[in-house]
Chains A and B, each alone.
Chain A
Amino acid sequence: MTAALGDNSLGFIIDRVDVGILVVTENLEVVLWNRFMEANSKVAAETIVGKNLLESFPDLPGKWLEKKVRSVQLLNNFAFTSWQQRPYLFHFKHHRPITGGVTHMYQNCTFIPFEGSDGESLVCITLFDVTDTAISHREVQQAHADLEELSHRDPLTGVYNRRFMEAELNKEFKRVARYGGKLSVLFLDLDFFKKVNDTYGHQAGDQVLIEVTQRINDITRTTDFLARYGGEEFAIILPETDTTGGLIFANRVREVIEKTPVHFGEHVIPVTASLGLSEYDDGIESYDALLDQSDKALYMAKKQGRNCVVCFVPDM
């Protein structure tokens, strides 16, 4: 470093720069405490210089700090901490009391070993206020998560969309193929849906879709996966479920849809659904083939007069 400035100027800069600067000995005795540290800790330099850091700040992670200081001295290299792994070293208030939405200052720190003028081992710790970065990062993460959720969902009903459902089914299929277990897939298609739209209008049709999915959601387990497969077609992935369990569930769904017509304006719209069920066995090569079986079973349900549940059998 070329210093055309004298010691006084350098001292001023270190004191007033908007970064926390403190220097400690290998026993964590404080040797330097700049204005940033004073202002944020409310502890004056005169009070703390010459004292042990941990005694004045008992909430600091003492053992960790001792190890850190010792390690940089032993290895003679810089060390860093990041707010992402360690939100702060000193518990200071942040400076966004109105808009922040956070409870404390986020900090990045650097540990710099060096030799004092008497040859003693010292470590300089610098503290950067990165609260703004942390806040924006959190906001971006949230927006990202929201966007991702959005891309997985059907905008009308809020259930998962077909693309995401196929990805999930693929995962579940691979899992069962590899480790064993049960898996069933249920296809559901609303009967005479075109007639509902023609008779009562598209808005009524939308309402029917929304309410039917709500009814199904009410009786699915948290592990079951409901998705909108097509216009009036839905798929439900049933992990850990065999044909017996699947049929019981499918019939409950069929019944609740039949027994609760949809109210739209002054209309009462009766709704029924046809359902096709298929269970995984190790003869099935891909999740597509499993979907295909459920589809065939659904087709049979329609053929058999609708408002019923059919289970796939190999000769369909």
Chain B
Amino acid sequence: MGFTVKVEPLNEEENEILQEVINIGMGQAGASLAKLLDIFVNLSVPRVSWVNDDDFVSKVGELVEGSDDSWAGVRQAFYNQLEGEAFAIYGANGCQQLSGLMGYDESEGMAQEELLLDITNILIGACLMGVAKQIGKQLDFAAPTLAGIDKPIEELLYSRDREWDQCLLIEVNFHLEESNFSCHLVMLMSEASIDQLRSGLLSFMESY
């Protein structure tokens, strides 16, 4: 492995600004979901941390809580001025209610997997686009892919090699009222984007 410049994690002030920016992005994702499902969405307070490749799986486990081994996960990569991967993690119970919530019936041939991918695309898209817009950066998305259904967290987040040492981990969660459906969005931003993120946060702060 070549020489890599170590990226400084965000300082306290930058973290605060980031939290607020995510809050805004999350609000947009919640509104998109609410528009689609016509149901009230409970938004969480965003949690931001800086993790090593060694402990990121356990950190996600902590954030997602629950002693179950049964989660569904969808992965979606994003790139351009900010790059990284986002995971949407769903509890087993909530998934079953999904097609009812989305207003699909059996005959329309919308399998649970496809629904999970669609909802994930909507949430991640709205949340991260919201963030990118606030900080004035360009963002593009790859298609979402299924990480697994009915699996423990470690399996959903599994990767053969990790090319990175540290990354920024952002977690938000959505909970639908009167439903078991809940979703944790975990966004991992690579070291390579941190400088772009910084400059974006700065310009956001100045314009606020």
Interface residues of A (CB under 8 A from B): 61, 63-64, 67, 71, 74-75, 77-82, 84-86, 108, 110
Main secondary structure of the interface of B (DSSP, over half): helix
Spot the interface stretch: B48-56, B120-128, B167-175, B178-186: B120-128
* Complex CA distance for A85 and B141, rounded to whole angstroms: 19
11 contacts between A and B (CB under 8 A): A64-B108, A67-B104, A71-B36, A75-B126, A77-B121, A77-B125, A78-B121, A79-B121, A80-B117, A80-B144, A82-B144
**B108 x A61 contact (CB < 8 A):** yes
* Complex CA distance for A82 and B120, rounded to whole angstroms: 14
Residue picked from A74, A75, A84, A108, most chain B C-beta under 10 Å: A75
Q: Which residue of B lies closest to A71 (CB)?
A: B36
Given contacts A74-B36, A77-B122, contact A82 B143 (CB under 8 A): yes
CB-CB < 8 A to B110: which residues of A? 64
Q: Which residue of A lies closest to B114 (CB)?
A: A85
CB-CB < 8 A to B121: which residues of A? 77-80
A187 to chain B, nearest CB (A): 33
B111-122 vs A: 1/0 string, CB under 8 Å? 101100110011
CB-CB < 8 A to A110: which residues of B? 143
Other A-B pairs, 10, CB within 8 Å; known A75-B126, A82-B117:
A63-B108, A64-B109, A75-B122, A77-B121, A77-B122, A78-B141, A80-B121, A84-B113, A84-B146, A86-B114
* Complex CA distance for A67 and B104, rounded to whole angstroms: 10
Of A61, A84, A108, which is within 8 A of B109 by CB?
A61
A72 to chain B, nearest CB (A): 9
* Complex CA distance for A34 and B55, rounded to whole angstroms: 49
**B35 x A85 contact (CB < 8 A):** no
CB-CB < 8 A to B35: which residues of A? 74-75
Q: Which residue of A lies closest to B103 (CB)?
A: A67
Given contacts A61-B108, A75-B35, contact A85 B117 (CB under 8 A): yes
* Complex CA distance for A63 and B105, rounded to whole angstroms: 11
Does B32 have its Cβ within 8 Å of any Cβ on chain A?
Answer: yes
CB-CB < 8 A to B143: which residues of A? 80, 82, 108, 110
**B32 x A75 contact (CB < 8 A):** yes
Q: Which residue of A lies closest to B115 (CB)?
A: A85
* Complex CA distance for A77 and B36, rounded to whole angstroms: 13
Q: Which residue of B lies closest to A63 (CB)?
A: B108
CB-CB < 8 A to A77: which residues of B? 32, 121-122, 125-126, 129
**A81 x B114 contact (CB < 8 A):** yes
In the complex, chain B residues 86-107 whose Cβ is within 8 Å of any chain A Cβ: 104
* Complex CA distance for A64 and B99, rounded to whole angstroms: 13
Does B145 have its Cβ within 8 Å of any Cβ on chain A?
Answer: yes
Q: Which residue of A lies closest to B146 (CB)?
A: A84
* Complex CA distance for A75 and B121, rounded to whole angstroms: 11
* Complex CA distance for A24 and B134, rounded to whole angstroms: 31
A258 to chain B, nearest CB (A): 47
**B111 x A85 contact (CB < 8 A):** yes
B28 to chain A, nearest CB (A): 10
**B36 x A75 contact (CB < 8 A):** yes
CB-CB < 8 A to B141: which residues of A? 78
A162 to chain B, nearest CB (A): 26
* Complex CA distance for A75 and B119, rounded to whole angstroms: 12
Q: Which residue of B lies closest to A79 (CB)?
A: B121
Of B36, B113, B125, which is within 8 A of A78 by CB?
B125
* Complex CA distance for A67 and B129, rounded to whole angstroms: 22
Q: Which residue of A lies closest to B28 (CB)?
A: A75
CB-CB < 8 A to A85: which residues of B? 111, 113-114, 117, 146
CB-CB < 8 A to B36: which residues of A? 71, 74-75
